[in-house]
Amino acid sequence: MVAPDLAAVIAGIDELNAMCRELRAGYLHLHPDAPATAREREMVELAISLWRQHGRDLRPGLGHLPRSLRQRLDAAMGDPSH
């Protein structure tokens, strides 16, 4: 049996992850009040923690999140539109 090329396997995993992120973003666009995933909740808690410790706003890089988590971020960090 020939061992798979590790770089090709990693590239395939990266492509699959990108497709999953796009599917989740599309789903959240249609259903903004969808329940948050554990990963999304963890990312938001980390972003809030980094904001409190270092004043760094990571909201632009978080991508699509359920409305409840966006509201949590805004409540903890302030409304970004002001």
Average pLDDT, consecutive stretches of 10 residues, N- to C-terminus, the chain (82 residues):
77 94 96 96 96 93 94 89 61
**Whole-model pTM?**
0.77
User: Domain ranges in the chain?
Assistant: 6-77
pLDDT value of residue 2: 55
pLDDT value of residue 25: 95
> Largest alpha-carbon pair distance within the chain?
60
pLDDT value of residue 23: 96
| SS3 state at 51 | helix
Residue in this structure with the two tokens 């539109």, named with its chain if needed: 81
